Chain A
């Protein structure tokens, strides 16, 4: 086979990949920037007008948009500290059991909810908070705490944020859990043994050996949570629709609503571009960490 012929075959094999990238990723990415500079909504759908940076300027003045970042940061912090803490704890305790059948049983059992369709889990939690027949109010009623009952998802920012944040309790299951468990299991037992001989307590060994050695995993999942969480808004859309008012509206949901509820495609795209810049920064940070890790 001649060299030219061989190269033609090679490029033919790569063609599907780059065709899909070009049409469904590259072109939309460029379009996102272009649309963000347009005054384009359902009312002038056929005649979009160039608007320069108007969409961005408008967003920066928009109190809902600014507030949405505060809300997002609250969700992200919660996710990074509490949800990750729970997976670390679960993984650590399972690893503590050593290579026993019981440890294997726990690992598999905690993985099961991961393969439950996400919507099933979300609908369960929607039911959990339902005002009249929901589980939370029912249990509060059983305990005689009727005056604690709330319209959890709609009453106030506090109850709605709390409700969304508590979704998935006790948060052991998930990708983070698997990553941490693998991390703990890879730690050389002799390191713990050495600390034990030095008279360190289990508590101290956890802080000085285990936690130190899974720092790379913590960094990885933190960045994954930051990148993924910045884009995530399905929970808010399903559970509260961003309400009450705009009290649980994160930037992603505001983008969605601008584009598909209010029909303002230009404004929506501008939010998309802003979120892209943020996640790009986080991704580059991630790559830097990955490289340091080798």
Chain B
């Protein structure tokens, strides 16, 4: 028994060490945001002695526009994806119609088309559509590829809703939209949240695509904006780390309240890379 206790103590200690290393970058980011370059060289790891808040103001001015663009793009994408996916998934789950399985097979086959194949032609297409530096340049392709896994997950979920429930609403004279909006959507709310959060995270984090299609400094996303923020010539570390800290806040706040759903969404969406 004593041996087991000892093993437990070692495991807990080891996990705390791993956790320390995992979270250390976040600690370092936050404390460095308050330091001048000189303070960083004399007090590298410690808490700032007399913290400087001005870097946050400087960084906020610079990244505000990127944050706004990212919110528009990720928000537009997730709304579009959920609307389109739920409609299609519901139809696939509830109705029989000609070419149903063929259409679903087509849909699934696009799960196997990797983003790397379509990167160049999509860029050419967006250029031809004259959408470069418009938020739609990101939103539309994100919706196109984001919907596939979600339709797949939603369809399974909708099929599991008992037929008796939908029938009882129909008996009361409820039309199909009533069934969809009054019964199915409320039931599906947790899974909407799960898949929505995963979708937000992936569009928010995308780097290569906005780098290509949102090259204008005023139109680009937080990911690209932060990257450009690292001016290699004259780095003011306080500003850089302030920018990184500020850029982390929106997702942190969003996920603080929804972590459970996010974890569920991550694991159920794992069918697609």
User: Within the complex, what minimum Cβ distance (angstroms) separates B15 from chain A?
Assistant: 5
Q: Is the CB of A109 within 8 A of B140?
A: no
CB contacts (< 8 Å) of A178 on chain B: these are 263, 266-267
| A/B interface sample: 25 pairs, CB < 8 A | A13-B88, A20-B84, A21-B107, A23-B140, A24-B125, A28-B121, A29-B117, A35-B124, A109-B19, A115-B201, A115-B255, A118-B205, A118-B207, A119-B223, A120-B244, A123-B227, A123-B240, A124-B25, A178-B266, A220-B270, A228-B273, A230-B116, A256-B208, A259-B123, A283-B111
A227 touches B273 (CB 8 A): yes
A203 nearest CB across to chain B (Å): 11
The answer to whether A273 and B117 have CB atoms under 8 Å apart is: yes
A17's partner among B26, B84, B240, B259 (CB-CB below 8 A) is B84
Q: Given known contacts A29-B113, A118-B207, A276-B117, is B26 in contact with A123 (CB within 8 Å)?
A: no
Q: Which of B122, B252, B271 contacts A28 (CB 8 A)?
A: B122
Q: Is the interface of B mostly helix, strand, loop or mixed?
A: helix
B31 within 8 A of A: no
Taking CB atoms, residues of chain B closer than 8 Å to A242 are: none
Q: A120-B29, A120-B226, A272-B120 are in contact. Are A20 and B97 (CB under 8 A)?
A: no
Interface positions, chain B 173-214, Cβ under 8 Å from A, are: 201, 204-205, 207-208, 212
Please give, as numbers and ranges, the residues of chain A lying within 8 Å of B118 by CB-CB distance: 24-25, 28-29, 32, 272
Interface status of A255 (Cβ within 8 A of chain B):
yes
B120:A268 contact, CB within 8 angstroms: yes
Q: Does B90 contact A (CB under 8 A)?
A: yes
Q: How far is the CA of A172 from the CA of B20 in the complex (A)?
A: 11
Give 1 or 0 for each of A172-186: 1 = CB within 8 Å of chain B CB. 110100110010000
Contacts of A118 in B (CB 8 A): 205, 207, 223
User: In this assembly, does A234 line the interface, its C-beta being within 8 Å of a C-beta of chain B?
Assistant: yes
Other-chain contact of A276, B8, B113, B222 (Cβ < 8 Å): B113
Interface magnitude class on chain B: 35 or more
**Given A120-B248, A279-B116: A111 touches B259 (CB 8 Å cut-off):** yes
A-B pairs, 4 with minimum CB distance: A24-B144, A31-B121, A28-B121, A276-B117
Known: A116-B248, A272-B117, A272-B120. A17 touches B107 (CB 8 A): yes
Measured CB to CB, the closest approach of chain B to A131, in angstroms, equals 11
- Please give the number of chain A residues whose Cβ is less than 8 angstroms from any Cβ of chain B in the complex: 85
Q: Is B7 touching A117 in the complex (CB atoms < 8 A)? A: no
A residues engaging B (CB < 8 A)?
Answer: 6-7, 10-11, 13-14, 16-18, 20-21, 23-29, 31-32, 35, 90, 93-94, 96-97, 102, 106, 108-121, 123-124, 126-127, 133, 135, 138, 169-170, 172-173, 175, 178-179, 182, 202, 220, 224, 227-228, 230-231, 233-234, 237-238, 252, 255-256, 259-260, 265, 268-269, 272-273, 275-276, 279-280, 283-284, 290
| In the complex, chain B residues whose CB is within 8 Å of the CB of A106 | 15, 19
Most buried by B among A97, A111, A113, A120: A120
Contacts of B115 in A (CB 8 A): 231
The answer to whether A18 and B103 touch (CB under 8 A), given A109-B23, A119-B223, A231-B114, is yes
Cβ-neighbour of B116 out of A111, A202, A252, A284 (below 8 A): A252
- Assembled-state Cα–Cα distance A237/B207 (Å): 10
* In the complex, B145 has a CB within 8 A of chain A: yes
Tell me, yes or no, whether B234 is within 8 Å of chain A by CB: no
Contact of B124 among A23, A31, A119 (CB under 8 A): A31
Nearest Cβ in chain B — how far from A214, in angstroms?
A: 14
Which residues of chain B are near A94, meaning CB under 8 Å? 15
| Chain A residues touching B, majority SS | helix
B110 touches which one: A25, A120, A202, A272 (CB < 8 A)?
A25
* Interchain CB contact (< 8 A) of B95 among A10, A35, A120, A237: A10
Q: Give the CA-CA distance A99 to B179 in the complex, in Å.
A: 40
- The verdict on B40 contacting chain A, using a C-beta distance below 8 Å, is yes
Residue of B whose beta carbon sits closest to that of A182: B267
Q: Could you say which residues of chain B place their CB within 8 Å of the CB of A113?
A: 22-23, 25-26
How far is the CB of A292 from the nearest CB of chain B, in Å? Answer: 15
- Using a CB-CB cutoff of 8 Å, which residues 28-45 of chain B contact chain A? 28-29, 37, 40-41, 44
Least CB distance from B24 to A in Å reads 10
Cα of A127 to Cα of B235 in the assembled complex, Å? 11
